[in-house]
Every structure is written in C-alpha cells, then in structure tokens.
Amino acid sequence: MSRTSRKIIFKESTGRRIIEQSRIRLICVGLFFILCFASIAVRMVDVAVFDKRARQTITVTDPDNEKSEQVELQQTTESATEFKLQRGDIVDRNGALLATSLMTASVFVNPKEMRDKEEAATKLGNALGLDSKKLLAKFQGGKSFLWIKRNLTPKQENLVNSLGIPGLYFLPEEKRVYPYGNMTSHVIGYVGVDNKGLGGIEKEFDQRLRDTAINNDPFALSIDVRLQAIMHEEMLKAVDEFDAIGATGVIMDIHSGELLSMISLPDFDPNKLNKDDDAARFNRATLGAYEMGSTFKSFTMAEALEYGTANMKSSYDAINPLRIGGFTISDAHSMHRWLSVPEIYAFSSNVGVARMVMEVGAKRQRAFLEKIGMLAPIEIELPEKATPLYPSDWKEINMVTIAYGHGISVSPLHLVRGIAALVDGGTLPRLTLLKDGNKGRADGAQVISEKTSANIRRLMRLVVEHGTGTKADVPGYRVAGKTGTAEKVNSGGGYNHNAKLASFIAAFPVENPRYIVLVMIDEPKGDKSTFEFATGGWISAPVVNRVITRMGPLLGIKPEYDVPQDDAEKYWVDKSGDKPAEKAKTHPASLPLYKQFFHAASY
C-alpha cells in the first residue's frame, strides 16, 4: 500500500473517532440534562403530591388579641386554587346564604431571617394599620415565628407581598363570612380563629359542617331570612323607642315545629368579634330564663279546664285581694266583683287565677307543667339552652304565684312551645331550627284534649278582641294572644317595680292556628304614647301587630273579613254555674260594661 493510501485511511479513522467521541459526549450531556429534569420533576411530584403538608406545634402571638397560644401551624405548598375550604355553607329555608367560607391569606414572619427589623416593622405597620413600635418589640423578642395578621384582604395581601421583606411568609387560610351580620348572629353563631365552631349552629353542627364542605352541600336551616329581617327591624324600633335594655322575638310554624325567626337583642356582628360583644352573645331566646308573668295564666286556664275544676261558665270571687300565708295577692286594676273564666283571662286577674289554681291543687299543677315541658331544658339544635328554675318544695304560695307567672322561670322557647300545644289541638310540638328537621319524626305527646284547646283559642281571641291585647289585632288575620308583664327579681331578692319584662304571644289565624309570634321587651320605659304604662299590652302587642301585618302577605296568607265572632263572648257575663244565685249578685248587669275596664288594665 502506498504512503498516500495509508495517510488517507489514517485520516478517515481519526475522523470517525472524533465523530464517535463527539457523539458520546453529546449522549452524556443529554443524559445529564435528562437526569436533572427528572430529578426536578420527581421533586415537584413529591412536593405537590406526597409531601404537601408539614405540621409543627409552636407558640405564636396573635397581634389582634395580644395573646400567645399553642397552635398547629400548617405550612403548605398548595396553591390558592388547590386550597380546600374546611366548612360548608349555611343557608336559610329558601336558599339565602347565611354563612360561607372564603380563601384568604395570613401573613407571619421569622424575625431571625430579617435584615432590618426596624424597617420591616415600619413597612408592615403602615401597610396593615398596625402599631409599628409594638411590632418591633415583638420582632426583637427572639422568637422564630410571629403572626402579623390573619385573613388578609386581597388588597392587603398584594400590598404586603410587594414590600419584599425577608423572613415574611403567607399561609392560605379560611375566613368565615356572615352576609347578614347581626341579624342572624344568635342563630348561626360564630367560629374561632381556627375555624372551629364556638357558638350557635356553628358549634352544634361543627363536624357536620366540615362534612358538608367535603360533600359541597349547603346546610339548610328553618329560618326565613325575610321574616328574620322583619322581626329584627321591628324589635330594634321598639327597643329604641322605649329605651329598653334588650328584647327577644320568635316566629314559629306550628304545623312543622320549625322556627322561622329567632331574634335576641342586643346582638353582635360575627364578622367582627371583640371582647365588647361578650354580653351581646347571650341568646335570650334559648339561654335566658325569665318569669313570664300573665302569659302563664294560659297554662292555669288549660289545667283547670282539662282537670274539670272549671269550665267556661265558671266564675270566681275577685272582689278583694287574697291573703295566703302572710302574702297578699291582688289585681293591679281590680274589678271588685266576681269574674267569669273569660273575664279572668281577658282582664288578667291574679286573684281570679289564684282561686282557680287552688281548686286544681299543687300536685296536679306541677304534673301539668311537667307534662308540657316547663320543668326541663328545651330540645333545640343549639348548645345554648336554659334550665328552668322552679321551687323544689312546691308550697301553696308557690302554686298560687306560679299560676300567674311568678316563682318559675323558663326560656322564651318554653313559652312558645307550650302555647303552640294549647292552641293546636293539644299536641306538644318538637321545635327545630333545621329545614324539614321534624320530617319522619313521631308527633309529640298529647297534653290536653282538643276541646280544651278549642276553649283556649276562644279565650286568647277574646283577649285580642276585647281584652288587654287589642293593640295586636290585625284586621283579616284573626289574631289570638295573651299579654304578660312580669316585674324582674332584684339581685338581692324581691321585685323591682320599675324593671318589667313586657310580653305578648300571638297565634293566628285563630280558626286553625299556623303561626306563633312572641315579642318580649326587657325593661321598657313607658312614655306619653303608652300613658306611661310599660306593659305587654302597650309595649309588645303593637310590635306583634306590625310583624303580623308585614309577614301575612309575604307568606301568602289571605286575610278574611267576614268570619263570625267567636262564641267565647256568650260566656262573658254568663250567670250560670255551681252557685248561680250567689254569682248573679256580683256580675255586671250588661255586656257593654266590659268596655270600661280594658283601657286601664296593666297586663
């Protein structure tokens, strides 16, 4: 082979070798980049799927309440779109949103990573409206974790993020929002900073609301936010007009047992809780226990009629005050004559019901009140429930005072449920705050006969037509009801004549009652419009009138104007009875005389 041929072959092999080496180098470089990208991809999958959350329990300081607390910090790489809300929505019976959750960001810092603590404190203070000096003091405290502010608005989050402060971090969190604020506060309740239910429905159904969030199904209550708005507005007006310290209002659907409205004043804004709200968080409707005054005479009438110790034609001596065991029972505006059963109820005579209950007896009175649920806590889907207060030793004087609503304290819901039983055929309803909450449940116990129930309806209608509750009468809606005015007990014992609880409880339409409406005003001050009276008839009955006037058309209840009068009036001055001759002497001579007595009645 010539020298020239060998040179050509050598050059060709050298070229192949160089090309081969280059190919190997390219393959190695390619494998290197593949391994790098694979490593990054594996890490991303690991972070995004297998190691989303790392938890540690540390001590943090919340600047909103200046309190240190142990919390479980959840650091996460989840994006805003991946963050899952912990609590489901709460809606009213018609789907109106009462409570919902929004995703927000909370900001915290590690002061040890800060380069300039003073500058950071100044910037954060200006951005979030916080005290920069207090922030700086905390930054210099040697801690590695400090909350700056929870649940930032989107605007605040962007502003803080743009500051570029080292050691500053965001944590996705959940903020509970209540669109109707104060108006539904005692029903819905509220949550803490960790979104745990601390009151109302939020607390009672804490776990169920968490499950609701998973299932994405709203939690429906029986409350009708339209009626809630009406009751809230009318009661606020009454509290303001009569300078009262508080109030309670309830609307109940008798047929279903569902509460359509429940108001307690003063109230609070669950969106902005603070220490000043502690007293306002007290739910008067379920947790308050009060002496109900003359509204309790409804139960005395029912037990006397049911046990047969009285009938609609019976009458009792109410000429003079009644002395029992050193105590004097009297009427605020005595008629100084015998009164028939309808007159006793319509005039709200203490002496009359006292004589009635003495025929019933203490043992049967207590058994009756126990049967209608007055001696045990109410069953309702709220954690705030009152235990009734009553004497352990049921003496004669206790029997008499309880007959007209003193000496026993129950919650407003006890009264609502009891009156519902009296007017709705005698069946004790099951109260509920859930839509269709009683669906599939057995009816309550039969506590009185249908005959007694019909007579109670007649008596309650008589109160509104001719008695102390005329200001609650709404043309076309046939309202029945009972007034109540109870003097409040002093802390040291005895009654305060200047501190009253003025109530009116109504049922309508009277022929087949569908709704119960209760209004209680706490310590109202009478004025010229009420002739200085601070009673249920003057203060609360007009509020009930306005509520029914507004809610009737809203619920599609057609008013009726040509309904015959109730036959309770035929007993108004009936002279028959066990001792007709004796009673005839003290009865009024003619029916129109009743008109002279009602304007001055105090109950």
Question: Based on the domain organization, do 436 and 566 belong to the same domain?
Answer: yes
More confident residue, 47 or 64: 47
Tell me what the mean pLDDT of segment 572-599 comes to.
Answer: 37
Whether 479 maps to a domain, the answer reads: yes
CATH classification of the domain holding 568: 3.40.710.10
Within this chain, do residues 199 and 241 fall inside the same structural domain, yes or no?
A: no
| pLDDT of residue 66 exceeding 50 | no
What is the CATH classification number for the domain harbouring 128?
A: 3.90.1310.10
> What integer is the mean pLDDT of 535-545?
96
Among the residue ranges 9-18, 149-158, 564-573, the one predicted with the least confidence is 564-573
Report the pLDDT value the prediction gives residue 569, as an integer from 0 to 100.
55
Specify whether the CB–CB gap between 480 and 533 falls below 8 A.
Answer: no
Whether a cis peptide bond, with omega within 30° of 0, leads into 154 is: no
With respect to residue 279, please indicate whether it lies within any of the assigned structural domains.
no
Do 385 and 522 lie in one domain? The reply is: yes
Question: Does the residue 35 lie in any domain?
Answer: no
Q: Which tens digits make up the pLDDT trace of 342-354?
A: 999 998 999 999 9
- Say whether both 149 and 245 belong to one domain: no
Question: How sure is the predictor about 52, in pLDDT bands with cuts at 50, 70 and 90?
Answer: very low
Given a cut of 80, whether residue 446 has pLDDT beyond it is yes
| Cα distance between residue 591 and residue 576, in whole Å | 15
Encode pLDDT of 279-294 as tens digits.
899 999 999 999 999 9
Q: Whole-angstrom Cα distance, residue 107 to residue 148?
A: 6
Q: Is a pLDDT exceeding 80 seen at residue 585? A: no
The pTM of the full predicted model, rounded to 2 decimals, is 0.81
> With 70 as the cut, is the pLDDT of residue 568 above it?
no
Q: Is the pLDDT of residue 492 over 90?
A: no
* 250 and 388 inside one domain: yes
Q: What's the pLDDT at 81?
A: 46
- Domain check: are 357 and 385 in the same one? yes
CB atoms within 10 A of CB 269: 16
Task: Choose one of 181, 199, 220: the last residue of a domain.
Answer: 220
In this structure, the answer to whether residues 192 and 316 fall within a common structural domain is: no
- What phi-psi label fits residue 95: left (phi over 0), alpha (psi between -120 and 50 degrees) or beta? left
Residue 35: predicted pLDDT: 78
At 32 the pLDDT is 77
Out of 294, 298, 340, 349, which one is annotated catalytic?
294
* Residue 168 and residue 232 share a domain: no
Domain that holds residue 193: 58-220
Adjacency order of strands within the sheet including 259-265? 259-265, 246-253, 515-522, 495-508, 480-489
Handedness of CA 430, 434, 439, 441 (dihedral sign): negative
Domain end, chosen from 183, 201, 220, is at 220
Contact 487, 500 (CB under 8 A): yes
Average pLDDT, the chain: 85
409 is catalytic: no
Q: Give domain status of residue 517, yes or no.
A: yes
Residues 429 and 554 reside in one and the same domain: yes
If asked whether residues 211 and 338 sit together in one domain, one would say no
Q: If you average pLDDT over residues 41-57, what whole number do you get? A: 54
Query: pLDDT tens, 148-193?
Result: 998 898 899 999 989 889 988 998 888 999 999 999 999 999 999 8
Write the pLDDT tens digit of every residue in 208-235.
998 887 777 899 999 999 999 999 999 9
- Among 220, 242, 258, which residue terminates a domain? 220
- 209 and 188 in contact (C-beta within 8 Å)? no
Position 500 in a domain: yes
What is the spatial distance between Cα 541 and Cα 502, in angstroms, rounded to a whole number?
9
Q: Which sign, positive or negative, has the C-alpha torsion 529, 534, 535, 539?
A: positive
CB distance 190 to 273 below 8 Å: yes
Mean pLDDT (whole number) for 102-114? 90
The answer to which of 304-318, 416-430, 490-504, 547-561 has the lowest mean pLDDT is 490-504
Between 43 and 399, the higher pLDDT residue: 399
Residue 334 in domain: yes
Q: Are 420 and 528 in the same domain?
A: yes
pLDDT on residue 594 = 37
Is there a domain that residue 21 lies in?
no
CA-only gyration radius of the chain, Å: 36
527/579 same-domain check? yes
What's the confidence (pLDDT) of residue 6? Answer: 54
DSSP-based three-state secondary structure for 426:
coil
Q: 489 - beta bridge partners? A: 495
pLDDT(68) > 70: no
Q: Which band of pLDDT confidence, cut at 50, 70 and 90, is reported for residue 92?
A: very high
Which 3 state secondary structure label does DSSP give 176? strand
Q: Which of the two residues, 240 and 54, has the higher pLDDT score?
A: 240
In a domain, 272, yes or no: no
Least confident interval from 1-10, 81-90, 243-252, 429-438: 1-10
Q: What is the pLDDT of residue 413?
A: 98
Domains contained in the chain, number: 2
